[in-house]
Structure 1
Amino acid sequence: MSNAEFCTSKTPGLVASDKRRAAEFPKAGNSALPAPRQSLRQGNPAVATVFASALVLVVTSSLWAQNRQSNRSAGPPDLPVLLHSAEEALNRKDFATAATALKSVVERQPDLVPAWFNLGYAYSGLHQNDEAVKAYQKALELKPDLFEARLNLGILLVELNKSEAALEQLAKAVALQPKHSRAHLYYGRALSLVDQAAEAEKQFQQTLALDPKLAVADFDLGQLKLKQERFDEALAAFKKAAELDAALPQAELGMALASEGLN
């Protein structure tokens, strides 16, 4: 499971965990090298997806107590126990246990936004992406400005090859947090997948302006330029990616392909 940067939630009543977590997507280091020229030029998302940003918003017993007071109704007494169980399960990456507990929570308290968000995260960890999409969509129905849900939903939709739908979510994520580097990164990937190369390049450049040491952004930029046969620019981008992250073997392959194109 890949790590993602910690995002501090600005949402009232949502408690961000003190650990960094990410939905499980293919790591570049674990994926087979692509068939040389074709896969890199096509921007194979299984190769390009190195990080998957996800912030688990842990629902605490105190939050449940606040929610009960705001709704002026007493919920089932076992809800704090379920919430605690889900939190502990997510901390140890036991997604099955977390999903079971969170399903019980949302059945009893269907307007609890963090529970829907965490359920989507748990489903992602179980590779039940269709269910994860539904959970994130429910969280966004209840709270449309929840950045983390917009971002994760967009990432999932890219993974499911639903690039057009992903564009909508990722555009909104970027609008919500314009200084979030990986939001721009994933937005750029979605744009690249629908052949909006100029706009994708702008997003990758913005990613690097915000986080100059994010190697995967240079790698994605290299893929984009390789596909456009801008071999000298592709080579420079792949070289920078390799310098920043020696554990990114696809960057070496990209350098070889770009060099071949120059000859």
Structure 2
Amino acid sequence: MPKRNFLLSVLAFVGLWSAAVPASAQALLPYSLQLNSEQLEQNGLALAQDAIQLVRFQQYQQALPRAKLAAQLAPDAYQTWFILGSLYVQLEELDKGIETLEKARTLAPDEAGILFTLGSAYFQKEDYAGAIREIERGLKLQPESKEALFDLGNAYMMLKQFDKAVVAYEKSLAEDKDFWPAINNIGLVKYEQGDLEAALEKWQQAIAIDNQAAEPQLAVAVALFANGEREKAVALGETALAIDSRYADLEFLEENLWGETLLSDTAKFLATPQMQAILARLGELEEIEIAP
């Protein structure tokens, strides 16, 4: 699964919202001509709730103007800056996102979600040291966040600090033993370290948890191919790409933290006549499915 936006703090934020918004802020008051500061803030928080509902349906562009207005109406509520900054990060307006999230942090310095989202923003800017700094600050406040620990592992992995990455992934698994993305990424580390057997074990463990996860299935296929088991590799590769054909794109795999060795072996695997025929057939099926 895509790693860069795995920690979608906008949706995590929804869990905080019920306690943050007064009951009287559930509806806007457009007919009121003389609104006091408390009413304005409540209206701003209600607008932010509307933005969150749009986020649930991935309507980020529609959510953004509501979030902007919410921050104007309720500038002293960290929640409005948090949701606005999170939206900027989701839309890859990273500098705006960081600036806005810093405003939220000023208002709520002990809110771990803000720090985790800042870490995500720095990760997307490829400032992995900055990502580690912010995520670790957040983990001091909320050490049990499996998603944040996963993101921390990803940042260490990008810096090729593999041992620290594995420690972070294992801490994530201590919070949820069935959190297969962390298991999968330990497999990625092991493959880059030349431990094919350990990598296969981790990926097969991930598949046992979720047999519709395309990534570990393709990784196993590539490992089998590299080990000379071509027939098994092709069969499993076809299964994986039928689930999600994006994994045939090397750039997509790199975004998902596949390392140099695994990418090189994947390129060789996908270039085989058997896999090229499978990719052509899958491409034809996709064209049929999307045709009007």
**Does TM, scored on the shorter chain, surpass 0.5?**
yes
Which stretch shows the higher mean deviation, 210-219 or 74-83? Answer: 74-83
Are 1:186 and 2:186 matched, yes or no? no
Counterpart in the other structure of 1:149: 114
Counterpart in the other structure of 2:6: 51
Query: Aligned partners of 1:165, 1:154: CA distance in 2, in Å?
Result: 7
Counterpart in the other structure of 1:223: 188
Query: Aligned partners of 2:175, 2:83: CA distance in 1, in Å?
Result: 28
Query: Aligned partners of 1:142, 1:50: CA distance in 2, in Å?
Result: 25
Counterpart in the other structure of 2:103: 138
TM-score (norm. length: structure 2):
0.64
Indicate the RMSD between aligned Cα atoms, in angstroms: 2.4
Counterpart in the other structure of 2:235: none
Counterpart in the other structure of 1:251: 216
- The amino acid across from 1:114 in the alignment is Q
Q: Is contact 2:115-2:134 (8 Å) kept? A: yes
Structure number having the greater helix percentage: 2
Alpha-carbon spacing, 1:229–1:50, altered in 2? closer, same or farther (3 Å): farther
Query: Aligned partners of 1:205, 1:147: CA distance in 2, in Å?
Result: 20
Query: Aligned partners of 2:190, 2:22: CA distance in 1, in Å?
Result: 50
- The amino acid across from 2:7 in the alignment is A
Q: Is contact 1:188-1:199 (8 Å) kept? A: yes
**How many pairs align?**
209
Deviation at residue 190 of structure 1 after TM alignment: 0.5
Counterpart in the other structure of 2:160: 195
Alpha-carbon spacing, 1:136–1:144, altered in 2? closer, same or farther (3 Å): same
Deviation at residue 126 of structure 1 after TM alignment: 3.5
Query: Aligned partners of 1:262, 1:76: CA distance in 2, in Å?
Result: 67
Structure with the greater relative contact order (CA < 8 A, sep ≥ 6): 1 or 2?
1
Counterpart in the other structure of 1:91: 53
Query: Aligned partners of 1:92, 1:163: CA distance in 2, in Å?
Result: 30
The runs of 5 or more residues in structure 2 that have no matched partner are 26-35, 229-292
Query: Aligned partners of 1:115, 1:50: CA distance in 2, in Å?
Result: 21
% identical equivalent positions = 22
- What pairs up with 1:120-131 in 2 under 5 angstroms? 120-131=85-96
Deviation at residue 108 of structure 1 after TM alignment: 4.6
Deviation at residue 49 of structure 1 after TM alignment: 4.5
- The amino acid across from 2:169 in the alignment is F
- The amino acid across from 1:75 in the alignment is S
- 1:113-154: CA deviations, max 9, x gaps? 111111122324434333222222221122222111111221
